[in-house]
Structure 1
């Protein structure tokens, strides 16, 4: 918070952290997670600082345990509850019906949770949806397409994936500031 962060996500997954849509995740005892949340709530300096509480209990311990934890997280003071990787729309609707808190859904294309429209998530009762991997998956598909084209034809010309203009992309990445610095300070 002091560093300027607007919020924090605390979770009950054991170390080392794993992706929420992979197997073999384990969670810490519920009492330990509740204590973490209580410390975070007591330590925050502003009510505007968002505390998101995530449980990974669904995969290893079942939906009932995940819902139980979500309720306990809200009671401990979490602003948003995040039950990771529900496996069906029915499970998602049950989470929304049973946990009286703003809820977050993690959308992972190809993961455990059904990929729906934002409108459908809202209808179910979710307050927010995050798409942490969508950009990376798009990049991965584009890389595969363009490099397959180069491998097959010897050129990137005609690839099904549009390529960004190099100079525009460089400017978006902030290279103009680097170039200006070099112009000012580099030896000729």
Structure 2
């Protein structure tokens, strides 16, 4: 089955879909190995991984597409991507969708922030006119080649204009053709229940550690009515903490011996990456 169709089916199932966030091909393979059905990769983690910079629209479309192509090629599960603001107007949105879809991605979202955008849990966000965003959604839906390629609309209006406008925008974007809706950064359980209860489309929840939204367990998010939950930055935060601790150990003691129990072994790492299988494949051509 196509990855696009798999992702669409997972989103429409009664059971909530859990999509951990990767920041590179290795972390995506680890997510797949852990048994998750799908993986996501957003601009926040990509900016940190590729540039060592915060999520401030610094990455170009071509840089993101190159990243997505490598990650999609590394795993057999569907990859859900971040299309930022669509990288411009409606014509730019069309190209963004075409390029991301060609990279092997199964679905993506665009958002209604003013460019340059910022992480949805940062202060100082601004949003474009709702009708302008609706036009972007129409352009995105029209541009996709595979009708199972999922288009999600994200609105950041809650922090700017309040919950009523965020819900109004969410329904407008659904009417424009969005398959999935993401109202970013609700700050209470009451707001989350209003979103799932008043938005006429499957909704995505965003679990950001120490973010603005309550970190609810997966089963509670499903009970509230969410169809998808992402943990987009957890792996990036965990890796950053682990490497910081490792470098502290090395700087202090001049060796990594005290850290070995927190590391995979040389052999296990090579096995995880499929070294033996690739060596066997290499040998089969020589034979």
Q: Same fold (TM over 0.5)?
A: yes
Match of 1:5 in 2: 105
Higher relative contact order by CA 8 Å / sep ≥ 6: 1 or 2?
Answer: 2
CA distance in 2, matches of 1:44, 1:154: 53
Aligned CA-pair RMSD: 2.5
What is the alpha-carbon distance in structure 2 between the residues aligned to residue 166 and residue 24 of structure 1?
A: 45
Give structure 1 stretches of 5+ with no counterpart.
182-188
Question: What pairs up with 1:30-109 in 2 under 5 angstroms?
Answer: 30-109=130-209
Q: Which moved more, 1:23-32 or 1:45-54?
A: 45-54
- Kept after mapping to 2: 8 A contact 1:146/1:160: no
Distance in 2, Cα, partners of 1:94 & 1:162: 43
The Cα shift of 1:60 comes to: 1.5
Unaligned regions of 5+ residues in structure 2, if any? 1-97, 283-287
Aligned pair partner of 2:255 in 152, 155, 165: 155
Matches of 2:249 and 2:108 in 1, distance apart?
A: 42
Q: Secondary structure at the match of 1:150?
A: helix
Deviates more, 1:118-127 or 1:45-54: 45-54
1:124 aligns with 2:224: yes
- Cα displacement string for residues 23-68 of structure 1 (whole angstroms, at most 9, x for unaligned residues): 1111110000011112222333333121100001111111111111
The equivalent residue for 2:211 is 111
1:146 paired residue number: 246
SS at match of 2:121: coil
- Check 1:155–1:57 CA distance in 2 against 1; reply closer, same or farther (3 A cut): same
Q: Give, in angstroms, the shift of residue 175 of structure 1.
A: 6.9
TM normalised by structure 1 equals 0.84
More helix by share: 2
Task: Measure the CA separation in 2 of the matches of 1:81 and 1:56.
Answer: 11
Measure the CA separation in 2 of the matches of 1:29 and 1:175.
51
Structure possessing the higher radius of gyration over alpha carbons: 1
Query: Once the two structures are superposed, what CA deviation does each residue of 1:73-129 show, in whole Å capped at 9, x if it has no partner?
Result: 111111100001111111111111111210001111011111111111101100000
Choose 150-159 or 44-53, whichever is displaced more.
Answer: 150-159
